Amino acid sequence: EDQVTQSPEALRLQEGESSSLNCSYTVSGLRGLFWYRQDPGKGPEFLFTLYSAGEEKEKERLKATLTKKESFLHITAPKPEDSATYLCAVQGSGAGSYQLTFGKGTKLSVIP
């Protein structure tokens, strides 16, 4: 069974204070690891897909990296508008591989 654990559950940062969110996973054959951003009461918004260890992707102040056991979402000089819940999900190649298995998310608050 695929499993995803995200830490910390919640993170408060001052504006401009860089940090990282962690996503640890166990999966039988990783097809892809996905990062989403979710604002309260809204649907998850796609950010990145990572496919293999060593891969990195960037978008504005966000950078996602992947190893064989975990992924990090680095946030550089965050702004208040980066406040949201960040969700990590994996897609494996075992039985039921078509869906995403999500972690419970990290709620990020960026204080001006």
Partner 1 sequence: DSGVTQTPKHLITATGQRVTLRCSPRSGDLSVYWYQQSLDQGLQFLIQYYNGEERAKGNILERFSAQQFPDLHSELNLSSLELGDSALYFCASSVAGASNTEAFFGQGTRLTVV
Residues that bind partner 1 (CB under 8 A): 31-32, 34, 36, 41-46, 49, 51, 87, 89, 91, 96-105
Q: Residue 16 or residue 94: which is nearer to partner 1 going by CB?
A: 94
Q: Residue 2 or residue 82: which is nearer to partner 1 going by CB?
A: 2
Close Cβ partners of 20 (under 8 Å, ≥ 6 residues apart): 72, 73, 74, 75
- The nearest distance, CB 51 to partner 1, in angstroms, is 7
